[in-house]
Structure 1
Amino acid sequence: MKKFNIKFIAVTLSMLLVFGACHDLDELNINPNAPDPEVTDLNLLMPTLIIDLGQTIVSLGIGDIAGVMQHTQKTGWSSGHNDYDWNDPGQSWSGYYGILRNADEFYNKAVEGELEFHQGVGLTLKAYAFGLIADLWGDAPFTEALKAESGPDFYKPVFNSQQDIYHGILAYLEEANTLLSKDNSEYTNVITSQDVLYAGDAAKWRKFANSLALRYYMRLQAKEPSVAQEGISKIAGDPGKYPLITVTEDEANIAYLGTSPGTSWPINMVYDINPQGEYMRRKPCATLVEALQALGDPRLGVWAEKVEIPLVLVPGTGVDRIVDGKREISKDVEEEFLEKWEGEDDLYVDYDQEYVGIPPSTFSAQAYNLTPNYTQQAAYNPHISQLSEMYKEASGSLLLMRLLSAAEVNFILAEAALYSWVSGNPETYYANGIKESLNAWEVGNQFDSYIQGAAYNGLESIMQQKWIASWTAAAESWFDWRRTGLPDLKAGVSARREKLPLRFYYKIDEDLSTNRENAEAAVAKLEPTPYKGTDQTNNSAWSKTWLLQGTNKPY
């Protein structure tokens, strides 16, 4: 896929109407410096709308969800990332509804102007954002959302069920498929430079819409299997009517321009030179590192750096020295270090000479593996792997906002084939998923050798590879883990609960205080699990939304 830089963002940001959250508005949150939305060309909304969504996906994918899914761990200010310390005051969805207000404005203008390409794009982006809200929180405003301008009756919108939201966005995507089915020459007012995702290519937007529908039909696999089967069979069985993203060139990726903090990879050290900044706080998690090492996975070398000073266990006592670029220690030095961390009986020193990740939810994260300056948060540790040097950069060929990948689509088809919902061999789709992920990370030339050590063995292998392929887009692997329990991830000793969390908390001061009646009705429908702990109500990250209730998944 041609990847488009966000070169219009600075100009566009200054011209857009910025909307606040769609719910519970006693006053509209309108930017007085922005032009009247009634006279703003809808094309000027497009780049910011796409980029805001992309940045949201990256924020989730390298943020706390990457900690939950054990892609990364933090060595400073880590409790939310490593330990799921989320409950006070909860997670805000105002940014998501801000995206939706712009998407709704974009779509409505397209309807008024009879612009079918823009209508299809608007519906696809609305479906994506509403789907995220349902995935992350559960029940949420949907049918009465985005209507605050219509008056006080919509200031406190009802929360639609998670089920209804999923069905609603699938209807959006079905309509988008039809709207985007024409040749590019048949659409009007398409400014290719404003479409920073696909440069006005309707066929690629159509593939994006259908691939997103495939994602949400599979989301219903455990809860509404007949709906999931019918939808996936419909799409996969008619590629002429429902084309999909199956190769890397069609992926929904957006590149960074890298000319300012707002147009750059978010944890770069070009604009944040703090040695304890966002880049330095994140380290690869041992769970992922060890899985990749077991597979001989070439993506490990793309995503992480080798240990600068490996540790070596040597005979004797009191040995702690640097020899030929390695730190030699004796067993008593190791034991003295490990004794500092009471309550972590399974803590260990990792003597791997190439890659070392941090175990999940460990009290010793910032000190793990004999960090020389272990009292300092986010201190550099030469005895563990850092994220790849490319993540220090502001932009680069692999620094992308990854909305939906060809690997994901192939893994969905592999799972569907396993259930006999689509024709074809699940092993073939599985291999295609791996191949496209390797292509996406520019190591596709190693596929033939890699697949020999990554044999297909049913759902477990599909979900493991899908989890790996979701690097920097970890939210999708979280949603898969919830419905399948795969991969089998364990919470560490410092985690807030014995199990991984299942959802975001509704934010107290946005919903539970200001739209109380509707919010409390939604909370009452959540099903608490034994891991709710000290949470006072069902508004817990360890409560089950509709999607998980009755499925016995993931616990």
Structure 2
Amino acid sequence: MKKYTLLSLTLAALLGSSCTKEFDKMNIDPNNPTAIGPQYLLPYAMEKSVDRFWGGSTRFERLNIDGMMLWMQYFTRNIYSNEGDNYGLSPAFYNNNWASFFNDGLLNFQRIIVDSSPTGKAPNTNYEGVALVMRSWLFSVTTDLWGAIPYSEALKGTAESPSYTPAYDSQDKIYEGLLNDLKIANEKLIVGGPGVQGDIIYGGNILKWKKFANSLRLRLANRQAAKKSAESRAIMREILGDATKYPIFTSNDDNALIKNTATLPSNNEWHEVMVRGSRTDWNISSTLADKLNALGDTRITIYANPVAGKYVGHPNGLPDAIATTYLSSSSTIGNYFTRPETPSVIMTLSELNLILAEAAIDGDITGDAKTYFENGITASFEQYGLKVPADYFTKVGAVTREKVLDQKWIALYGVGVEAWTEYRRTGFPVLPAKDPRAVFENDGVLPTRLPYPSTEYSLNKASLEKGIALNGGADNMKTKLWWVEK
């Protein structure tokens, strides 16, 4: 009877001309909405993009764990050295990370920006500002991985005038746009303004978002300083000259990170791979262990697990037959980093202070380099609940640019993607000579960028070829990017 009644009502609606205007509403499935609010898009885009950046749990796609943490000699492999440690990569590494950054992250941040704008479906200046910060961060990661990428014409697949073959922008133009967008984001973010839900980074705390926007802007300004000194200097001095208008990180509570949980799927990606996935393929590199042991740096107790009371590593790039002999004699990754609730880090107070120390040494800002340097080191220790050893600053010695960048490398443990970018930009830290037993691909050159994905060759080749030309070299892992200082 219920089926018959429903059918009768449906026929009446179809046949009655006065009811045809309601037909579109009758065909909306409430269980499959066509519009998704920012409170749902935001946490999805955040988690997907940060998980990719921090770890990635799919084999052959683990950007940080099987790429930059190895290349920067924090980790080394005890088996399968061809999965990153010897600079060998599967096409899935650059194909699928590119696809996820654009499709899961950037497109969703863009959708929030459009819908939350003053002319959007649901205006909300704070959603717009948060998404603008995250879009800027993820674009900065993406251009620092590949160089020239679609930027100004990207993310327009659903626009009124869609672009399915977006042009590539040069890295200097992308940086120009990002620095401007972060300034706009700081202006749009209003403390005490409309609420933001679904924020798994700062829980809707808009002041902290403003701090992240300005701290990230300092990172990018400093990164391009050797190429655009006047512009970068002006940006850094503008921010540091008005703490009220341009707040920045002032404590570790301001750090940009996702606080993971023990509940799936919101657990730490390193835990997913190394504990739930039972992968024991990694040990600590001897480069890291030797450096921290020489300094008496107690952060090694967090970064690694002891073997017979000592923290030891082994060299990178060893063939499996040799590397496997170190499985039980080389320190494993510290238990702190393999816990399910360990946060996925984007940017910290320590990094910011070391950025400012470098800028002070370079003359880009007027602050005291030694103070920034020691504050950066202290913040890194305190991030893990440690105190700086009494004689540590004496052992480190006088502040120089190289020592600032060495300490940044130590502090960026875990955030290998950023450490790799800083190494490519500056050449620091100076890495030890390769072990004579090691065997490397890529002609022995530590990768300078990632190759473009195969989808760009098949779907956007004309634009891609112009992008390759903008990089000034072949589409390989030896072409240097724009911000390289030498």
What TM-score do you get using the length of structure 1 for normalisation?
A: 0.75
Give the Cα–Cα distance (whole angstroms) in 2 for the partners of residues 456 and 62 of structure 1. Answer: 33
Relative distance call for 1:89 and 1:117 in structure 2 (3 A) is: closer
* Alignment correspondent of 1:52: 48
Contact 2:81 2:318 in 1 (8 A): no
Deviation at 1:392, TM superposition (A): 4.1
Matched, 1:514 2:459: yes
**Aligned-pair distance for 1:389?**
2.8
In structure 2, relative to structure 1, the CA distance for the partners of 1:366 and 1:473 (3 Å cut) is farther
Equivalent residues of 1:430, 1:456 under 8 A apart:
no
Alpha carbons of 1:366 and 1:128: their partners in 2 closer, same or farther (altered >3 Å)? farther
CA offset at residue 270 of structure 1? 9.2
* Aligned match for 1:190, one of 191, 196, 207: 196
Match of 2:200, SS state, is: coil
- 2:230 corresponds, among 226, 230, 245, to 226
Work out whether 1:63 is the aligned partner of 2:9: no
CA–CA distance in structure 2, aligned partners of residues 269 and 94 of structure 1: 21
Aligned partner (choices 249, 260, 263) of residue 266 of structure 2: 263
Give the superposition deviation at 1:189. 3.9
Q: Which AA in structure 1 matches 2:393?
A: I
**Aligned counterparts of 1:34 and 1:428: Cα–Cα separation in 2:** 57
8 A Cα contact 1:211 1:244, kept in partner = yes
- Give the 3 Å change call, closer, same or farther, for CA 269–541 of structure 1 in structure 2: closer
Cα 1:37/1:222, change in 2 over 3 Å: farther
Structure 1 counterpart of 2:235, one-letter code: G
C-alpha distance in 2 between matches for 1:527 and 1:467: 28
Superposition deviation, residue 394 in structure 1: 2.1
How do 1:18-97 residues align onto structure 2 when only pairs under 5 Å count? 35-38=32-35, 40-59=36-55, 60-86=63-89, 88=91, 91-92=94-95, 93-97=98-102
Change (3 A) 1:272 1:215: same
Corresponding residue number in structure 1 for 2:310: 354
The CA deviation string for residues 330-376 of structure 1, in whole angstroms up to 9 with x for no partner, is xxxxxxxxxxxxxxxxxxxxxxx6121121222257636x44xxxxx
Seen in structure 2, the aligned counterparts of structure 1 residues 482 and 37 have a Cα distance that, compared at 3 Å, is farther
Deviation of 1:36 (Å): 3.8
Give how far 1:152 is off.
8.2
Q: Does 1:543 align with 2:479?
A: yes
Q: CA deviation at 1:507?
A: 1.3
Describe the SS at the equivalent of 2:409: helix
**2: CA distance, partners of 1:491 / 1:56:** 30
One of 462, 468, 482 as aligned partner of 1:523:
468
Q: Which amino acid aligns with 1:423?
A: T
- Whether the aligned pair in 1 keeps the contact of 2:67 and 2:84 (CA below 8 Å) is yes
Which residue pairs with 1:401 in the alignment?
Answer: 344
CA distance in 2, matches of 1:195, 1:518: 35
Aligned to 2:395: 453
Deviation of the 1:257 alpha carbon: 1.4
Divergent runs of 4+, >4 A: 32-35, 87-90, 269-275
Matches of 1:125 and 1:457, distance apart in 2: 33
> In structure 2, how many angstroms separate the alpha carbons of the residues matched to 1:423 and 1:37?
52
- Name the SS of the counterpart of 1:457 in structure 2: coil
**Structure 1 residue 432 corresponds to structure 2 residue 375:** yes
Equivalent residues in 2 for 1:274-285, closer than 5 Å = 275=278, 277=279, 280-285=280-285
Distance 1:85 1:270 in 2: 20
2:58 alignment partner in structure 1: none
Secondary structure, in 3 states, of the residue corresponding to 1:64?
helix
Q: Deviations over 1:276-313 (max 9, x none)?
A: x1xx11111111111010110111011111114xxxxx
Higher helix share: 2
- Which amino acid letter does the alignment assign opposite residue 514 of structure 1? L
**Pair 523,87 (structure 1): closer, same or farther in 2 beyond 3 Å:** farther
SS of the residue 2:459 aligns to: coil
Counterpart Cα distance in 1 of 2:311 and 2:137:
36
Residue pair 1:73, 1:358 contacting (<8 A) in 2 also: yes
Deviation of 1:125 (Å): 0.5
Residue 466 (structure 1) shift: 0.3
Distance 2:337 2:347 in 1: 20
Question: What residue ranges of structure 1 are gaps of 5+ in the alignment?
Answer: 1-31, 309-352, 372-380, 529-537
Distance 1:80 1:271 in 2: 15
2:400 maps to a residue whose letter is: G
Distance, in Å, in 2 between the alignment partners of 1:414 and 1:118 is: 33
Q: Note closer, same or farther for the CA distance 1:477–1:365 as it changes in structure 2 (3 Å cut).
A: farther
**Residues 33, 455 of structure 1: alpha-carbon distance in 2 compared, 3 angstrom cutoff:** farther
What SS is found at the alignment partner of 1:73? Answer: strand
2:106–2:138 CA contact under 8 A, matched in 1? yes
Matched AA of 1:476: E
**Under a length normalisation based on structure 2, what TM-score does the superposition of the two structures give?**
0.85
Aligned-partner SS, 1:154: coil
State the Cα deviation string for residues 246-273 of structure 1 (Å, max 9, x = none). Answer: 321111121111222x221223279955
Give, in angstroms, the shift of residue 501 of structure 1: 1.3
What amino acid does structure 2 have at the position aligned with 1:177? N
Check 1:271–1:63 CA distance in 2 against 1; reply closer, same or farther (3 A cut).
Answer: closer
Give deviations 1:78-134, integer Å, cap 9, x for gaps.
323211113747612111102011101111121123311111101101101111111
Say whether residues 1:418 and 2:361 are aligned partners.
yes
Amino acid at match of 2:461: R
Structure 2 CA distance, aligned partners of 1:164 and 1:87? 30
What is residue 448 of structure 2 aligned with on the other side?
A: 502
2:79–2:323 Cα contact (<8 Å) kept: no
Counterpart amino acid of 1:100? L
Deviations 1:147-194 (A, max 9, x none): 1123785111111111111111111100011112x332xx22433xx2
1:250 equivalenced with 2:260 (yes/no)? no
**Cα distance, 1:53 vs. partner?**
2.6
